[in-house]
Structure 1
Amino acid sequence: MPTRIHLVRHGATDLTAEDRFAGSSDVPLSDEGRRQVACLAARLKREKLDAVYASPLGRTMETARTLALPHGLEPIAEAGLREIDYGHWEGLRRSEVESTFPAEYAVWQEDPFAIAPLGGESGVNVLNRALPALRAIVERHRHGTVLLVSHKGTNRLLVSSLLGFDMRGYRDRLEQSPAALSLLDFMSEVRARLRLFNDISHYEDLSERLLTERLPRW
Protein backbone atom coordinates (compact mmCIF):
# COMPACT_ATOMS: atom_id res chain seq x y z
CA MET A 1 0.00 0.00 0.00
CA PRO A 2 1.51 3.37 -1.02
CA THR A 3 1.81 6.44 1.14
CA ARG A 4 -0.60 9.04 -0.20
CA ILE A 5 0.24 12.74 -0.05
CA HIS A 6 -2.47 15.35 -0.53
CA LEU A 7 -0.38 18.29 -1.74
CA VAL A 8 -2.22 21.60 -1.40
CA ARG A 9 -1.37 25.19 -2.18
CA HIS A 10 -2.69 27.74 0.33
CA GLY A 11 -5.71 29.85 -0.58
CA ALA A 12 -5.48 33.23 -2.27
CA THR A 13 -4.15 36.36 -0.57
CA ASP A 14 -4.48 40.01 -1.50
CA LEU A 15 -0.93 39.87 -2.88
CA THR A 16 -1.94 36.92 -5.10
CA ALA A 17 -4.64 39.09 -6.67
CA GLU A 18 -2.21 41.98 -7.13
CA ASP A 19 0.40 39.82 -8.90
CA ARG A 20 3.10 40.57 -6.32
CA PHE A 21 6.11 38.53 -5.23
CA ALA A 22 5.11 37.23 -1.79
CA GLY A 23 7.42 34.31 -1.15
CA SER A 24 8.73 34.91 2.37
CA SER A 25 6.27 37.72 3.14
CA ASP A 26 3.91 36.57 5.89
CA VAL A 27 0.51 37.64 4.58
CA PRO A 28 -2.91 36.27 5.63
CA LEU A 29 -5.50 34.66 3.41
CA SER A 30 -7.97 37.00 1.75
CA ASP A 31 -11.71 36.47 2.15
CA GLU A 32 -11.63 34.93 -1.30
CA GLY A 33 -8.87 32.56 -0.20
CA ARG A 34 -10.85 31.50 2.87
CA ARG A 35 -13.84 30.65 0.66
CA GLN A 36 -11.59 28.55 -1.58
CA VAL A 37 -10.14 26.68 1.38
CA ALA A 38 -13.58 26.10 2.92
CA CYS A 39 -14.64 24.43 -0.34
CA LEU A 40 -11.59 22.17 -0.22
CA ALA A 41 -12.25 21.31 3.44
CA ALA A 42 -15.78 20.20 2.52
CA ARG A 43 -14.34 18.06 -0.28
CA LEU A 44 -11.82 16.35 2.00
CA LYS A 45 -13.89 15.95 5.16
CA ARG A 46 -14.58 12.24 4.52
CA GLU A 47 -10.94 11.42 3.78
CA LYS A 48 -9.00 9.56 6.45
CA LEU A 49 -5.96 11.69 7.23
CA ASP A 50 -3.18 10.57 9.53
CA ALA A 51 -1.46 13.95 9.79
CA VAL A 52 -1.41 17.49 8.41
CA TYR A 53 1.83 19.40 7.79
CA ALA A 54 2.27 22.98 6.60
CA SER A 55 4.79 25.66 5.89
CA PRO A 56 4.99 27.85 9.02
CA LEU A 57 3.82 31.03 7.23
CA GLY A 58 0.46 32.45 8.22
CA ARG A 59 -1.39 31.74 4.97
CA THR A 60 -0.34 28.10 4.91
CA MET A 61 -1.01 27.47 8.59
CA GLU A 62 -4.47 29.06 8.32
CA THR A 63 -5.23 26.88 5.30
CA ALA A 64 -3.97 23.80 7.15
CA ARG A 65 -6.01 24.52 10.28
CA THR A 66 -9.20 24.83 8.23
CA LEU A 67 -8.49 21.56 6.41
CA ALA A 68 -7.41 19.71 9.57
CA LEU A 69 -10.36 20.75 11.76
CA PRO A 70 -12.93 18.21 10.44
CA HIS A 71 -10.39 15.45 11.13
CA GLY A 72 -9.58 16.47 14.69
CA LEU A 73 -5.95 17.11 13.78
CA GLU A 74 -3.55 19.92 14.60
CA PRO A 75 -1.25 21.03 11.76
CA ILE A 76 2.47 20.46 12.25
CA ALA A 77 4.71 23.30 11.06
CA GLU A 78 7.47 22.14 8.70
CA ALA A 79 10.04 24.82 7.86
CA GLY A 80 11.27 22.96 4.80
CA LEU A 81 7.95 23.60 3.05
CA ARG A 82 8.36 27.41 3.11
CA GLU A 83 7.99 29.34 -0.12
CA ILE A 84 10.97 30.62 -2.07
CA ASP A 85 12.40 33.88 -0.72
CA TYR A 86 12.44 36.52 -3.47
CA GLY A 87 14.91 38.78 -1.69
CA HIS A 88 14.65 42.45 -2.65
CA TRP A 89 11.72 41.66 -4.97
CA GLU A 90 9.46 40.76 -2.04
CA GLY A 91 6.20 42.69 -2.09
CA LEU A 92 6.75 44.18 -5.55
CA ARG A 93 4.45 43.65 -8.52
CA ARG A 94 5.99 41.60 -11.28
CA SER A 95 5.67 44.59 -13.62
CA GLU A 96 7.66 46.68 -11.11
CA VAL A 97 10.43 44.10 -10.96
CA GLU A 98 10.59 43.92 -14.77
CA SER A 99 10.97 47.69 -15.05
CA THR A 100 13.19 48.32 -12.00
CA PHE A 101 15.55 45.33 -12.31
CA PRO A 102 15.34 44.40 -16.02
CA ALA A 103 18.74 42.70 -16.33
CA GLU A 104 18.39 40.70 -13.12
CA TYR A 105 14.83 39.68 -13.99
CA ALA A 106 15.84 38.56 -17.51
CA VAL A 107 18.63 36.32 -16.19
CA TRP A 108 16.31 34.84 -13.56
CA GLN A 109 13.60 34.17 -16.14
CA GLU A 110 16.06 32.09 -18.17
CA ASP A 111 16.92 29.77 -15.28
CA PRO A 112 14.95 30.35 -12.05
CA PHE A 113 16.15 26.99 -10.77
CA ALA A 114 19.79 28.09 -10.55
CA ILE A 115 19.49 31.89 -10.29
CA ALA A 116 18.24 33.82 -7.26
CA PRO A 117 17.17 37.45 -6.88
CA LEU A 118 19.55 39.52 -4.76
CA GLY A 119 19.14 38.43 -1.15
CA GLY A 120 16.77 35.62 -2.10
CA GLU A 121 16.72 31.91 -2.93
CA SER A 122 17.10 29.92 -6.12
CA GLY A 123 14.97 26.90 -6.93
CA VAL A 124 17.95 24.75 -5.97
CA ASN A 125 17.95 26.28 -2.48
CA VAL A 126 14.24 25.58 -2.03
CA LEU A 127 14.42 22.01 -3.29
CA ASN A 128 17.40 21.27 -1.04
CA ARG A 129 15.18 21.86 2.00
CA ALA A 130 11.72 20.90 0.69
CA LEU A 131 12.53 17.52 -0.83
CA PRO A 132 14.23 16.08 2.31
CA ALA A 133 11.29 17.37 4.37
CA LEU A 134 8.80 15.61 2.08
CA ARG A 135 10.79 12.38 2.10
CA ALA A 136 10.99 12.42 5.90
CA ILE A 137 7.20 12.83 6.11
CA VAL A 138 6.65 9.92 3.71
CA GLU A 139 8.98 7.73 5.79
CA ARG A 140 7.30 8.81 9.04
CA HIS A 141 3.81 7.95 7.76
CA ARG A 142 4.55 4.92 5.59
CA HIS A 143 1.32 3.45 4.12
CA GLY A 144 -0.68 6.34 5.59
CA THR A 145 -2.41 9.41 4.14
CA VAL A 146 -0.99 12.85 4.86
CA LEU A 147 -1.98 16.37 3.83
CA LEU A 148 0.76 18.93 3.10
CA VAL A 149 0.03 22.63 2.65
CA SER A 150 2.76 24.56 0.91
CA HIS A 151 3.20 27.22 -1.78
CA LYS A 152 3.07 27.70 -5.53
CA GLY A 153 6.81 27.65 -6.17
CA THR A 154 7.64 24.97 -3.62
CA ASN A 155 4.91 22.62 -4.87
CA ARG A 156 5.99 23.01 -8.48
CA LEU A 157 9.62 22.35 -7.60
CA LEU A 158 8.68 19.20 -5.68
CA VAL A 159 6.51 17.80 -8.45
CA SER A 160 9.09 18.64 -11.13
CA SER A 161 11.81 16.85 -9.19
CA LEU A 162 9.71 13.79 -8.37
CA LEU A 163 8.62 13.38 -12.00
CA GLY A 164 12.06 14.02 -13.47
CA PHE A 165 11.26 17.22 -15.37
CA ASP A 166 13.82 19.73 -16.60
CA MET A 167 13.93 21.88 -13.48
CA ARG A 168 14.67 25.07 -15.41
CA GLY A 169 11.10 25.01 -16.71
CA TYR A 170 9.27 24.40 -13.44
CA ARG A 171 7.58 27.83 -13.53
CA ASP A 172 6.56 27.70 -17.19
CA ARG A 173 5.26 24.13 -17.39
CA LEU A 174 3.34 23.61 -14.15
CA GLU A 175 0.53 25.59 -12.55
CA GLN A 176 -0.59 25.75 -8.94
CA SER A 177 -3.85 27.60 -8.39
CA PRO A 178 -4.89 28.84 -4.93
CA ALA A 179 -6.28 26.01 -2.77
CA ALA A 180 -5.53 23.50 -5.54
CA LEU A 181 -5.27 19.79 -4.72
CA SER A 182 -2.70 17.36 -6.11
CA LEU A 183 -2.31 13.69 -5.15
CA LEU A 184 0.98 11.78 -5.02
CA ASP A 185 1.34 8.10 -4.19
CA PHE A 186 4.75 7.01 -2.88
CA MET A 187 5.91 3.41 -3.09
CA SER A 188 9.10 4.59 -1.37
CA GLU A 189 10.60 7.95 -0.42
CA VAL A 190 11.89 8.40 -3.98
CA ARG A 191 9.29 6.60 -6.12
CA ALA A 192 6.22 8.78 -6.62
CA ARG A 193 3.26 8.59 -8.97
CA LEU A 194 1.17 11.69 -9.69
CA ARG A 195 -2.52 10.80 -9.44
CA LEU A 196 -4.10 14.26 -9.61
CA PHE A 197 -2.68 17.68 -10.33
CA ASN A 198 -3.83 21.25 -9.65
CA ASP A 199 -7.47 20.29 -9.21
CA ILE A 200 -9.84 23.10 -8.23
CA SER A 201 -13.14 21.38 -8.98
CA HIS A 202 -14.19 21.97 -5.36
CA TYR A 203 -14.61 25.69 -6.05
CA GLU A 204 -15.55 25.74 -9.72
CA ASP A 205 -19.02 26.89 -8.72
CA LEU A 206 -17.55 30.17 -7.54
CA SER A 207 -17.54 33.15 -9.88
CA GLU A 208 -15.64 33.08 -13.18
CA ARG A 209 -13.88 36.23 -12.00
CA LEU A 210 -12.32 34.28 -9.12
CA LEU A 211 -11.05 31.54 -11.41
CA THR A 212 -9.62 33.66 -14.21
CA GLU A 213 -9.24 37.39 -13.82
CA ARG A 214 -7.87 37.28 -10.27
CA LEU A 215 -5.21 34.61 -10.94
CA PRO A 216 -1.77 35.84 -12.06
CA ARG A 217 -0.64 34.60 -15.45
CA TRP A 218 2.52 33.06 -14.00
Structure 2
Amino acid sequence: MFRVVLVRPGATEFDQQGRIKGSLDMPLCDHGREQANHAAKDLQEVDFEAVYTAPCESAIETAKLLIGGRKIKNKVIEGLRNVDHGLWHGKLIDEVRRQQPRVYKKGQDSPGDLCPPGGETMESAKERVQRALQKIIRKHRKGSVALVIPDPLASIVRSLLSGKEMRDLWKSETDAGTWECLELCEPATKPQFLFV
Protein backbone atom coordinates (compact mmCIF):
# COMPACT_ATOMS: atom_id res chain seq x y z
CA MET A 1 0.00 0.00 0.00
CA PHE A 2 1.24 3.46 -0.90
CA ARG A 3 0.06 6.41 1.16
CA VAL A 4 0.25 10.09 0.27
CA VAL A 5 -0.26 12.51 3.15
CA LEU A 6 -1.34 15.76 1.56
CA VAL A 7 -0.38 18.65 3.87
CA ARG A 8 -1.46 22.19 3.13
CA PRO A 9 1.02 24.77 4.47
CA GLY A 10 0.02 26.93 7.40
CA ALA A 11 -1.54 30.30 6.63
CA THR A 12 0.25 33.38 5.33
CA GLU A 13 -0.89 36.98 5.85
CA PHE A 14 -2.71 36.80 2.49
CA ASP A 15 -4.55 33.66 3.61
CA GLN A 16 -5.58 35.44 6.83
CA GLN A 17 -6.91 38.38 4.81
CA GLY A 18 -8.78 36.21 2.28
CA ARG A 19 -6.46 37.29 -0.53
CA ILE A 20 -5.47 35.12 -3.48
CA LYS A 21 -1.86 34.05 -3.07
CA GLY A 22 -1.38 31.58 -5.92
CA SER A 23 2.29 31.38 -6.86
CA LEU A 24 3.37 34.37 -4.75
CA ASP A 25 6.10 33.38 -2.29
CA MET A 26 5.18 34.35 1.27
CA PRO A 27 6.25 33.18 4.74
CA LEU A 28 3.94 31.72 7.34
CA CYS A 29 2.23 34.21 9.64
CA ASP A 30 2.13 33.49 13.39
CA HIS A 31 -1.21 31.68 13.08
CA GLY A 32 0.15 29.71 10.12
CA ARG A 33 3.12 28.59 12.22
CA GLU A 34 0.68 27.37 14.88
CA GLN A 35 -1.29 25.48 12.22
CA ALA A 36 1.89 23.90 10.84
CA ASN A 37 3.02 22.88 14.34
CA HIS A 38 -0.40 21.34 14.97
CA ALA A 39 -0.22 19.32 11.71
CA ALA A 40 3.34 18.22 12.59
CA LYS A 41 2.14 17.03 16.00
CA ASP A 42 -0.79 15.15 14.42
CA LEU A 43 1.60 13.40 12.02
CA GLN A 44 4.56 12.79 14.35
CA GLU A 45 3.98 9.00 14.43
CA VAL A 46 3.90 8.61 10.63
CA ASP A 47 7.07 7.03 9.26
CA PHE A 48 7.58 9.09 6.10
CA GLU A 49 9.94 7.77 3.43
CA ALA A 50 10.17 11.27 2.00
CA VAL A 51 8.72 14.77 2.24
CA TYR A 52 8.21 16.70 -1.00
CA THR A 53 7.27 20.37 -1.09
CA ALA A 54 6.28 23.17 -3.37
CA PRO A 55 9.04 25.74 -3.96
CA CYS A 56 7.45 28.39 -1.74
CA GLU A 57 8.45 29.65 1.67
CA SER A 58 5.22 28.68 3.46
CA ALA A 59 5.47 25.06 2.22
CA ILE A 60 9.18 24.80 3.04
CA GLU A 61 8.62 26.20 6.57
CA THR A 62 5.72 23.79 7.12
CA ALA A 63 7.81 20.85 5.85
CA LYS A 64 10.67 21.70 8.24
CA LEU A 65 8.25 21.59 11.17
CA LEU A 66 6.74 18.35 9.85
CA ILE A 67 10.15 16.69 9.48
CA GLY A 68 11.28 17.76 12.96
CA GLY A 69 13.91 15.27 14.18
CA ARG A 70 13.28 12.68 11.45
CA LYS A 71 16.30 11.58 9.45
CA ILE A 72 14.84 12.58 6.08
CA LYS A 73 15.30 15.67 3.95
CA ASN A 74 12.77 17.98 2.43
CA LYS A 75 12.80 17.66 -1.37
CA VAL A 76 11.64 20.82 -3.14
CA ILE A 77 9.99 19.98 -6.49
CA GLU A 78 9.46 22.74 -9.07
CA GLY A 79 6.54 20.79 -10.59
CA LEU A 80 4.67 21.26 -7.30
CA ARG A 81 4.70 25.06 -7.69
CA ASN A 82 1.27 26.53 -7.02
CA VAL A 83 -1.04 27.76 -9.76
CA ASP A 84 -0.15 31.16 -11.26
CA HIS A 85 -3.22 33.31 -10.65
CA GLY A 86 -1.97 36.15 -12.86
CA LEU A 87 -3.86 39.39 -12.29
CA TRP A 88 -5.75 37.87 -9.37
CA HIS A 89 -2.64 37.74 -7.15
CA GLY A 90 -3.33 39.86 -4.08
CA LYS A 91 -7.03 40.32 -4.79
CA LEU A 92 -9.61 39.47 -2.17
CA ILE A 93 -11.67 36.44 -3.12
CA ASP A 94 -14.73 38.61 -2.44
CA GLU A 95 -13.47 41.13 -5.06
CA VAL A 96 -13.47 38.41 -7.71
CA ARG A 97 -16.98 37.38 -6.61
CA ARG A 98 -18.27 40.96 -6.95
CA GLN A 99 -16.32 42.06 -10.04
CA GLN A 100 -16.48 38.81 -12.03
CA PRO A 101 -19.55 36.89 -10.82
CA ARG A 102 -19.60 34.46 -13.77
CA VAL A 103 -15.94 33.60 -13.32
CA TYR A 104 -16.47 33.19 -9.57
CA LYS A 105 -19.39 30.82 -10.23
CA LYS A 106 -17.22 28.82 -12.66
CA GLY A 107 -14.63 28.48 -9.88
CA GLN A 108 -17.35 26.95 -7.71
CA ASP A 109 -18.96 24.69 -10.29
CA SER A 110 -16.10 23.61 -12.59
CA PRO A 111 -12.76 24.86 -11.25
CA GLY A 112 -10.81 22.66 -13.67
CA ASP A 113 -11.94 24.89 -16.57
CA LEU A 114 -10.87 28.14 -14.92
CA CYS A 115 -8.07 30.43 -16.18
CA PRO A 116 -7.37 33.64 -14.26
CA PRO A 117 -6.56 36.66 -16.48
CA GLY A 118 -2.84 36.57 -17.27
CA GLY A 119 -2.47 33.35 -15.30
CA GLU A 120 -2.14 29.63 -15.76
CA THR A 121 -5.04 27.40 -16.73
CA MET A 122 -6.00 24.78 -14.17
CA GLU A 123 -5.51 22.20 -16.93
CA SER A 124 -1.86 23.20 -17.50
CA ALA A 125 -1.27 23.15 -13.72
CA LYS A 126 -2.84 19.68 -13.65
CA GLU A 127 -0.51 18.44 -16.41
CA ARG A 128 2.53 19.88 -14.63
CA VAL A 129 1.68 18.33 -11.27
CA GLN A 130 0.79 15.04 -12.95
CA ARG A 131 4.35 14.77 -14.29
CA ALA A 132 5.76 15.50 -10.82
CA LEU A 133 3.49 12.88 -9.24
CA GLN A 134 4.54 10.27 -11.79
CA LYS A 135 8.17 10.65 -10.73
CA ILE A 136 7.35 10.55 -7.02
CA ILE A 137 5.14 7.48 -7.28
CA ARG A 138 7.61 5.58 -9.47
CA LYS A 139 10.20 6.14 -6.76
CA HIS A 140 7.95 5.15 -3.84
CA ARG A 141 5.66 2.21 -4.56
CA LYS A 142 5.06 1.46 -0.86
CA GLY A 143 5.08 3.32 2.43
CA SER A 144 4.14 6.94 3.12
CA VAL A 145 5.26 10.22 1.63
CA ALA A 146 4.16 13.74 2.51
CA LEU A 147 3.38 16.35 -0.11
CA VAL A 148 3.40 19.84 1.40
CA ILE A 149 1.64 21.98 -1.19
CA PRO A 150 -0.76 24.92 -1.06
CA ASP A 151 -4.22 25.13 -2.57
CA PRO A 152 -5.49 25.14 -5.23
CA LEU A 153 -2.65 22.81 -6.30
CA ALA A 154 -3.37 20.51 -3.33
CA SER A 155 -6.96 20.15 -4.56
CA ILE A 156 -5.69 19.27 -8.04
CA VAL A 157 -3.43 16.57 -6.53
CA ARG A 158 -6.32 15.26 -4.45
CA SER A 159 -8.48 15.05 -7.56
CA LEU A 160 -5.76 13.24 -9.55
CA LEU A 161 -5.00 10.69 -6.83
CA SER A 162 -8.57 10.01 -5.74
CA GLY A 163 -10.18 10.11 -9.17
CA LYS A 164 -12.79 12.55 -7.80
CA GLU A 165 -13.75 15.91 -9.25
CA MET A 166 -11.95 18.98 -7.99
CA ARG A 167 -14.05 20.81 -5.43
CA ASP A 168 -14.98 24.48 -5.18
CA LEU A 169 -11.84 26.53 -5.89
CA TRP A 170 -12.83 29.31 -3.49
CA LYS A 171 -13.42 26.91 -0.59
CA SER A 172 -10.03 25.29 -1.13
CA GLU A 173 -8.33 28.67 -0.75
CA THR A 174 -9.31 28.63 2.95
CA ASP A 175 -7.90 25.21 3.93
CA ALA A 176 -4.46 26.35 5.18
CA GLY A 177 -2.83 24.08 7.74
CA THR A 178 -5.00 21.03 7.07
CA TRP A 179 -3.91 17.54 6.02
CA GLU A 180 -5.46 14.38 4.65
CA CYS A 181 -4.32 10.86 3.90
CA LEU A 182 -4.85 9.31 0.47
CA GLU A 183 -4.23 5.58 0.25
CA LEU A 184 -3.44 4.16 -3.16
CA CYS A 185 -3.82 0.47 -3.85
CA GLU A 186 -1.40 -1.77 -5.73
CA PRO A 187 0.09 -0.29 -8.93
CA ALA A 188 -2.34 -2.15 -11.19
CA THR A 189 -5.30 -0.35 -9.61
CA LYS A 190 -3.75 3.11 -9.26
CA PRO A 191 -4.91 5.88 -11.56
CA GLN A 192 -3.64 5.08 -15.05
CA PHE A 193 -1.74 8.34 -15.52
CA LEU A 194 0.75 7.35 -12.85
CA PHE A 195 2.34 4.61 -14.92
CA VAL A 196 2.47 6.01 -18.44
TM-score relative to the length of structure 1: 0.77
Q: Is the 8 A contact 1:156 1:176 kept in 2?
A: no
Once the 2 structures are TM-superposed, how far is the Cα of residue 109 of structure 1 from its aligned partner?
A: 5.2
1:178 matched to 2:176? The reply is yes
Residue identity matched to 1:37: A
Matched residue, 1:133: 132
Unaligned runs of 5+ in 1: 193-218
C-alpha separation between the residues in 2 aligned to 1:173 and 1:127? 18
Once the 2 structures are TM-superposed, how far is the Cα of residue 173 of structure 1 from its aligned partner?
A: 8.1
C-alpha separation between the residues in 1 aligned to 2:106 and 2:44? 44
Residue identity matched to 2:65: T
- More divergent stretch after superposition (36-45 vs 82-91): 36-45
Once the 2 structures are TM-superposed, how far is the Cα of residue 106 of structure 1 from its aligned partner?
A: 5.3
- More divergent stretch after superposition (10-19 vs 108-117): 108-117
Q: Is the 8 A contact 1:162 1:190 kept in 2?
A: no
Q: Is the 8 A contact 2:23 2:82 kept in 1?
A: yes
Q: Residues 189 and 7 from structure 1, CA distance in 2 versus in 1: closer, same or farther, beyond 3 angstroms?
A: farther
Q: Residues 4 and 107 from structure 1, CA distance in 2 versus in 1: closer, same or farther, beyond 3 angstroms?
A: closer
CA deviation vs aligned residue, 1:89-135 (integer Å, no higher than 9, x gap) = 10111222334445655555554312311111122111101122122
TM-score relative to the length of structure 2: 0.85
CA deviation vs aligned residue, 1:28-76 (integer Å, no higher than 9, x gap) = 1010111111122222222211111000011101111111122132211
Once the 2 structures are TM-superposed, how far is the Cα of residue 81 of structure 1 from its aligned partner?
A: 1.4
Residue identity matched to 2:12: T
C-alpha separation between the residues in 2 aligned to 1:9 and 1:149? 6
Matched residue, 2:41: 42
C-alpha separation between the residues in 2 aligned to 1:172 and 1:62? 24
Unaligned runs of 5+ in 2: 192-196
Q: Is the 8 A contact 1:21 1:93 kept in 2?
A: yes
- More divergent stretch after superposition (51-60 vs 99-108): 99-108
Residue identity matched to 1:128: E
C-alpha separation between the residues in 2 aligned to 1:142 and 1:48? 15
Matched residue, 1:24: 23
Q: Is the 8 A contact 1:156 1:170 kept in 2?
A: no
Look up the SS of the partner of 2:46 in the other structure.
Answer: coil
After superposition, the CA RMSD in angstroms is 2.4
C-alpha separation between the residues in 1 aligned to 2:135 and 2:102? 38
Q: Is the 8 A contact 1:126 1:154 kept in 2?
A: yes
Once the 2 structures are TM-superposed, how far is the Cα of residue 165 of structure 1 from its aligned partner?
A: 2.8
Q: Residues 19 and 173 from structure 1, CA distance in 2 versus in 1: closer, same or farther, beyond 3 angstroms?
A: closer
Q: Is the 8 A contact 2:15 2:174 kept in 1?
A: no
The one of the two structures with greater contact order (alpha-carbon pairs below 8 A, sep at least 6) is 2
Q: Is the 8 A contact 2:107 2:168 kept in 1?
A: no
Matched residue, 1:96: 95
Q: Residues 109 and 179 from structure 1, CA distance in 2 versus in 1: closer, same or farther, beyond 3 angstroms?
A: closer
Aligned-pair identity in percent equals 32
Look up the SS of the partner of 2:187 in the other structure.
Answer: coil
Q: Is the 8 A contact 1:23 1:85 kept in 2?
A: yes
Matched residue, 2:194: none
C-alpha separation between the residues in 1 aligned to 2:51 and 2:171? 27
C-alpha separation between the residues in 1 aligned to 2:115 and 2:189? 26
